Amino acid sequence: MENCVNRSLYSSVEYLDCLLYTSDPEVLEATLRVLVRSAPRWSYHRDIKANLAVFSTRLMIIASPWNLKKDIVPFIDQNESSDVAAHTNEFKLLVQSRTTSVLQKHAGNIHYQFFRTAEDIKGMEKEREGHEEEPGTGMGVAGATSSRSQQSKKQHHGHSPASSIAEGLVSIDEPVDKLCSDATASIHMQMEQAFSKLVAKYKVSSAHHYELRHRIYVALAFARGDSQLRFLLLRARINAATVLSQLMTEQEFKNMFLSREPNFTSDIITLLQPEVHAPLSLQTTVLLALEGLLKQRREVSGAYVSLNASANHGVLMFILRKALSTADEPPAFPYEFMSALYGFLTSMTTTMNGGQLLVSAGAVPV
């Protein structure tokens, strides 16, 4: 896909929704990468965009903020955290090396809230009745009669399935390491152990299973101290937001995504700054995201200001100089990073002030 000139030849994008439900984080990231690469073509096909509306729900879950600042900021060394406590950039906090131990110790809780409706309760009742009827298949009239009599007795004594499930707001706040009985198991097995216990304890309906699974993966990444998994989920989060920016109109993107994370563009640009020391794979994802976000006109000016695009000493010019100064030597950046960088620069020239800002910064002579 990434090396294909005509990406619109791939016409099975709607089937990728099934892969978003995968339990493998690497498959999730690969699926989102395909969606990011093919998303620019959707804006020219209204029928495809209408069919892909089903993506929005799961993409919003993946792109949602983790809201970890309140969990980790109070525990950072006070001698170093005076500026961090006032900062709201969650992305920067997640990539800083000094917060790794704090994340492992204090960010391994599963925070999730959902509202259990009457329809959810009815759905769980039907599912439970279906499981109870399966063993009784073929029992005959006598077995069915005894089963009905037992059910009527339970309802008479107040032990009906609905009696233990109430409608309303349900809050989950559990340490993920206590939900995993086998700490040596794979990440997938630990997720399944935690998931089954939470579903049984809090009576979580199937409508909320996907978001709960994703929250468990995020908590496991912190509890295990697995920086590779943490960065993978962070890349998936940025990629999901990029696809949403392509799927939605400007007003929809503002109301549904930017209303919850208004500083998203400026926050991810911080990851490009050399002093942050973000992994190159994460910086590549940021450049791909910026290429897509430039199509949201509300985000263009903010992105240029955060990049300091018109200055010769801005982060964009720093990256360009470093990349081109080693042209005759082993490359300073991998091919994927350079491809994303050139794609973003090309997109800048198509905007109203992008080309002028590049000229002002001195990018043309470089």
User: What value does the mean pLDDT of the chain take?
Assistant: 78
Lowest mean pLDDT, pick from 4-18, 72-86, 187-201? 72-86
Q: CA 131 to CA 157: how far, in whole Å?
A: 22
Instruction: Provide the residue type at 234 as one letter.
Output: L
Indicate the range of 45-59, 153-167, 300-314, 335-349 predicted with least confidence. Answer: 153-167
27-35: which pairs have CB atoms within 8 A and are 24 or more residues apart? Answer: 28/62, 28/236, 29/232, 29/235, 29/236, 29/239, 32/62, 32/236, 32/239, 32/240, 32/243, 33/239, 34/1, 35/239, 35/243
pLDDT of residue 2: 62
Q: Phi and psi of 115, rounded to 5°?
A: -105, 120
How confident is the model over 9-62, as pLDDT tens digits?
A: 566 666 777 888 888 889 999 999 988 887 766 655 554 555 556 678 889 999
Rounded to an integer, the average pLDDT of 264-276 is: 92
Alpha-carbon radius of gyration of the chain: 25
Question: What confidence score (pLDDT) does residue 81 get?
Answer: 43
DSSP state of 329: S
The pTM of the full predicted model, rounded to 2 decimals, is 0.83
Question: Which pLDDT tens digit goes with each residue over 128-157?
Answer: 776 655 555 544 444 444 444 545 444 444
Does position 305 have pLDDT exceeding 80, yes or no?
yes
